[in-house]
Amino acid sequence: MTKPGFFKRLKALSLQQKKLFAVALCQRMQPNYQLFAEVCQFGNATVLETLQQLLWQSLYDNKLKLNLEAQINKLEENTPEPEDFDVYGVYPALDAVVALSSYLGALQSKIEDDITNISKLSSATVANYVEALIGDDFTNESALDDAVYAHPMMQQERELQASLLEIIEENPEPSAEFIKALRKEIVQDGVSNIGISLADNAES
């Protein structure tokens, strides 16, 4: 018997599992913002890093109460406007902020679908990056879409999300130890969804 489709399985997770899945994907997008902030001297990457740490902690520490409005405002202050920058890196950096904002907004509105949609946002970041890499080689949009889908980076994103989903499915009630171990693995890997590596920063 084959498993149901990816998104059907994702939506079947408990709220706690969905939150863990989304926080893990947000973590993988962090280096995209960090590198952009360093190169373009924009924003404060520490704001995103601190929020990310709080989100992980909130998954196993029931006493931790996030001021969602204040955190959303902090993200807005560190959100880059693409038209202000002449580098592609602004787009994946923006996506990293949008992912966190979407997560906080979902907590605020209690709309679970907004949490699972972070999966699509992460995939879209990769798809747009791949298209920027190879787009000039194609005049046919359908052929470009096929090439983006078949690109190793896109395949890697799909495989990673599938693997993450499977791990979380196997842990219906994620323990603090499980959550901390998953966070440590992603942080130490230090590679973003588009292959940006800040491993030295992550290990310090």
What is the per-residue pLDDT across 68-103, written as a single tens digit (0 to 9) for each?
999 999 999 999 999 999 999 999 999 999 999 999
Amino acid 3: pLDDT? 65
pLDDT tens by residue, 55-71: 999 999 999 999 999 99
User: Quick check: 204 pLDDT over 60?
Assistant: no
pTM for the whole structure: 0.93
Q: Which residues pair with 191 in a beta bridge?
A: 197
Strand, coil or helix: 4: coil
Higher pLDDT, 2 or 118: 118
- Which of 92, 107, 125 shows the shortest CA–CA distance to 54? 107
Amino acid 138: pLDDT? 84
Amino acid 136: pLDDT? 82
Average of pLDDT values for 7-30? 97
Amino acid 192: pLDDT? 97
At 27, list the tokens.
Answer: 């973590």
User: Quick check: 119 pLDDT over 90?
Assistant: yes
Pairwise CA distance, residues 123 & 21, whole Å: 14
Higher pLDDT, 148 or 1: 148
At 86, list the tokens.
Answer: 């002449």
* Band (203; pLDDT cuts 50, 70, 90): very low
Burial of residue 24 (number of CB atoms within 10 Å: 0-12, 13-18, 19+): buried
